Amino acid sequence: MKGILFLCVANSARSQIAEGLARTMAPAGTRVWSAGSRPTAVRPEAVAVLREIGIDISHHRSKAVAEIPAAEVDTVITLCGEEECPLFLGQATRLHWGLPDPAAVEGSVEERLAAFRRTRDELRRRLEALFAAGGPAGTPPDRTRLSG
């Protein structure tokens, strides 16, 4: 893998968490980005749950898909749940890991953080499998969904 791009709509939660995790887990030399079709702002809960495991994404910002160097991306992972996923027009292997948006969870601060932690932990599990398999060709199709 030379470059991996995580896509969701707002580039505020799932894709930011995935980018932060992948930057620490990907094989050496792999470039990692995240982007969205309608970028907003990075959610503080995403920053907090990665900080809990020693990853700092406080400097991240939400990016539009057009900002990503398409020629350097060979793997695109969409993370959208029920909403419409953004398009990426570059030549790349595509995977879809449909996850519910933790930013949509209402409730107490702790309930919202719990949703972000579930997303973080599921993404970490999937990334471990992806990198252990040597890339997208060796990974099984998306068969799991998060609740919550």
Q: Which residues are catalytic?
A: 8, 80, 85
Largest CA distance in the chain: 42
Question: Which residue type sits at 77?
Answer: I
CA dihedral 127, 128, 132, 136 (to 10 degrees): -20
Strands (E), 19-109: 31-36, 75-78, 93-96
CA dihedral 25, 121, 83, 143 (to 10 degrees): 90
Query: Is the four-CA dihedral 93, 97, 103, 104 of positive or negative sign?
Result: positive
